[in-house]
Amino acid sequence: MQPQNTRRGLLKGFTLSAAAYTVPGLFAEQLTATPRLTEGPYYPDKMPLDTDNDLLIINDAITPAVGEITHLTGRVLSASGEPVRNAFVEIWQVDSRASYIHTKGRNPNGYDGNFQGYGRFLTDSKGQYYFRTIEPVPYDLQGMFRTPHIHFAISKNAHRLLTTQLFVKGHQDNSRDHILNEIRDQRLRETVLVDFKPLPESKIGELAANFDIVLGATPQESEDGKLHGGLGQAEHR
């Protein structure tokens, strides 16, 4: 079997085609920086057996996770629009039953044991990343309601540069989310609201979403030696 025909080869090959479909080609002179948002208490306390960029299949399992399959693409950029190469992108989110893989983030109604819950990807020379995951769902855990969202952490050279969250644009529960509503500047708010659109020619109803992440400072300016999240002590705010 040729490398491109393997599962990971297919995922890697999809990156450029998906990004080409969803990513605009022109930069503004100065891009709006993606706002920093709390990591929250549910960053994995124990990593899953598989940590690649396909959250639907754990290792070589046969049964995939349940949910609306989503091809999530984007770029990590500097404020001037330069791609950030070899940035370490992490995502984590609840499964279709509204459970995190964190041991204290389980929904009383159970969890999907086939959902990886966490993934990582190293950006390419164009700053691009790609994940195959599910469209996020709302949840109410330990008395806290959250609208659908996906957590992101960006690191480079073992230093956390940004922690933020992606939200589903137009979702009816967005007005109830206290984290999203902390962003009062509409221009900043728009940077974390993402369309989940039907993927053209998909016969199984897959979705495509694109989330470009703009760092407010260059990696060199941000590398202060303080480690957070998966690269050090997790933030519990």
Taking the C-alpha atoms of residue 78 and residue 216, their distance in angstroms, rounded to an integer, is 7
43 annotated active-site? no
Q: What are phi and psi of 198, to 5 degrees?
A: -55, 135
Q: Record the tokens describing residue 5, joined without a space.
A: 């025909």
Residue 14: closest CA among 69, 56, 63, 73: 73
90, 52 contact by CB (below 8 A): no
Taking the C-alpha atoms of residue 107 and residue 100, their distance in angstroms, rounded to an integer, is 8
Residue 213: closest CA among 16, 37, 9, 62: 37
Please provide the distance, in angstroms rounded to a whole number, between the alpha carbons at the two ends of the chain.
47
Taking the C-alpha atoms of residue 7 and residue 198, their distance in angstroms, rounded to an integer, is 22
Catalytic residue among 106, 120, 132, 151: 151
Catalytic residue among 139, 159, 160, 171: 139
132, 206 contact by CB (below 8 A): no
Which ranges of 159-210 does DSSP label H, i.e. alpha helix?
Answer: 186-191
Taking the C-alpha atoms of residue 42 and residue 52, their distance in angstroms, rounded to an integer, is 19
Taking the C-alpha atoms of residue 105 and residue 121, their distance in angstroms, rounded to an integer, is 23
Catalytic residue among 71, 146, 160, 171: 146
Catalytic residue among 71, 102, 149, 159: 149
42 annotated active-site? no
Catalytic residue among 42, 43, 75, 100: 100
100 annotated active-site? yes
- The residues assigned a catalytic role are 100, 139, 146, 149, 151
